[in-house]
Amino acid sequence: MTEVHGPILVIDDDAAILEFVSMALSDEGYEVITAPDGAVGLRLAREFKPALVVLDMRMPVLDGYGFLNAFCPNGGQHTPIIAVSAHHKGSDPMLCADLFLAKPFNVDEFLGHVKRFLQ
């Protein structure tokens, strides 16, 4: 595995998905931090400066769109973001997510994307 500078932040309000994605990433040797909603995720992203964010788009408190609007920089270093949603509508050019995946997604395909973004 390539050396990764910073944890992977997984943000999802579905506890089962949060645990599944976290375990899949941990099993690959990645450090993972989790958040149950976008507001907590935004605080953790600013505090820990993750190497990658896996973001659910539909959540209470602060959804994925709100997270992206608050987190994406207007310049400087970019953190790769994989957005996931059961209501996948494709890439929105106004958002800074690097990849949109529809739930449910294939874990091997997902891990392949993670590795590509972290190389």
Instruction: Sort strands 52-56 and 81-85 into parallel, antiparallel or unpaired.
Output: parallel
Q: What are the strands of the beta sheet with 52-56, ordered from one edge?
A: 32-35, 8-11, 52-56, 81-85, 99-102
- Residue 82 counted as domain residue: yes
Domain for residue 108, yes or no?
A: yes
| Domain that residue 84 falls in | 8-118
Above 70 in pLDDT, residue 69? Answer: yes
2 within a domain of the structure (yes/no): no
For residue 64, being part of any structural domain is answered with: yes
Within 8 A by CB and 6+ apart from 40, the residues are: 11, 61
CATH number for the domain spanning 46: value is 3.40.50.2300
70 burial type by CB count under 10 A (0-12 exposed, 13-18 middle, 19+ buried): middle
**pLDDT band with cut points at 50, 70 and 90 for residue 106:** very high
**Structural domains in the chain (count):** 1
Answer whether residue 65 is part of any domain. Answer: yes
13-52 pLDDT, tens digit each: 999 999 999 999 999 999 999 999 999 999 999 999 999 9
pLDDT recorded at residue 18? 94
